[in-house]
Amino acid sequence: MAKSIVVDDLDLYYKDFLAVEGVSMTIPATSVTALIGPSGCGKSTFLRSLNRMHEVTPGARVEGKVMIDGQSLYDPAVDPAALRRQIGMVFQRANPFPKMSIAENVLAGSRLNSKRLGRDEAEEIVERSLRGANLWDEVKDRLKKPGSSLSGGQQQRLCIARAIAVQPQVLLMDEPCSALDPISTARVEDLIHELKSEYTIVIVTHNMQQAARVSDDTAFFNLAGYGKPGRLVEMNPTSKVFSTPDERATEDYISGRFG
Ligand SMILES: Nc1ncnc2c1ncn2[C@@H]1O[C@H](COP(=O)(O)OP(=O)(O)OP(=O)(O)O)[C@@H](O)[C@H]1O
């Protein structure tokens, strides 16, 4: 079931370097939130703090709070590996397991999560997830072929199918279309639109039009200068951010005056 995320005064460090400072925001459930801002302002770092991937980097640490439906993500009782399997992530470059078949790719997370899957159960997960990722019709006759035999756009949708196979609460996407052609991009954007009825989606994008097309809310991050931490400048409904933003810096960025 989709969950809301509440972030309270979050600081993100790489060793002594404060990369992101003082972020507080509420990400509503079953909606798409876009993270935008100039290179280096900490969008990916922030995204990775939402499923505890940030701390996988040696020396990286977190101060502050992230709550998912009232549960603190950084509570010592939370198992980060189990949590990462519950919060799906899709990366810039499609990364299917190259030697695994299409079906096995979809099942990879479920196999890690659970006991043995029965054949019927496995087939049901494969079909449901591939349908969910708008890929079923294109691959249903070649489920045993390697994931790497698909086109780039199909591979990215396969990765989305893999992420939703475990029915995550939240789906994090880090520039999921940046390596895709316009047609594949449009398909992934359509998919994001469909998926938001079931998932809470947070997407990092450099593409302003994409943020405007796919998201309900937009968070603009900025940094005061090189070596300074990134900060959240404003978060508002996307229509407002792109028409009458609260902050001058947001307007300047959106209209291409910097970044
Ligand atoms: N593994 C790391 N070790 C040390 N510093 C890092 C690491 N990863 C990122 N940083 C630094 O943290 C800051 C934020 O980087 P991040 O990649 O989150 O920004 P971004 O907004 O996603 O950038 P881009 O739009 O270019 O992808 C940058 O100053 C970056 O150099």
Quote the ligand 1 centre to 40 CA distance (angstroms). 5
- For residue 27, report the phi and psi dihedrals to the nearest 5 degrees: -105, 115
Binning pLDDT at 50, 70 and 90, where does residue 69 land?
confident
Quote the ligand 1 centre to 39 CA distance (angstroms). 8
Q: Is the CB of 36 under 6 A from ligand 1?
A: no
- Global pTM reads 0.94
Which amino acid would we find at residue 146?
P
The continuous run of DSSP H or E covering 112 comes out as helix 102-113
In ligand 1, which atom is closest to the CA atom of 230? 14
In ligand 1, which atom is closest to the CA atom of 41? 21
pLDDT score recorded for residue 114: 66
Summarize pLDDT for 34-48 with one digit per residue, the tens: 999 999 999 999 999
Task: Provide mean pLDDT across the span 135-163.
Answer: 95
Quote the ligand 1 centre to 102 CA distance (angstroms). 32
Q: Whose CA is nearest to atom 16 of ligand 1?
A: 42
% of the chain exceeding 90 in pLDDT: 80
% of the chain exceeding 70 in pLDDT: 98
Residue with the larger pLDDT of the pair 226 and 214 = 214
Q: Whose CA is nearest to atom 30 of ligand 1?
A: 40
Asked if residue 72 has pLDDT above 90, the reply is yes
Summarize pLDDT for 116-139 with one digit per residue, the tens: 889 999 999 999 999 999 999 999
Structure tokens, 151: 């086109």
Q: Is the CB of 41 under 6 A from ligand 1?
A: yes
- Based on its alpha-carbon atoms, the radius of gyration of the chain, rounded to whole angstroms, reads 18
Structure tokens, 69: 């439906």
ipTM > 0.85 for the complex:
yes
Q: Is the CB of 40 under 6 A from ligand 1?
A: yes
Can you tell me the distance from the alpha carbon of 29 to that of 84, in angstroms, rounded to the nearest whole number? 18
Q: Is the CB of 91 under 6 A from ligand 1?
A: no
Can you tell me the distance from the alpha carbon of 80 to that of 212, in angstroms, rounded to the nearest whole number? 32
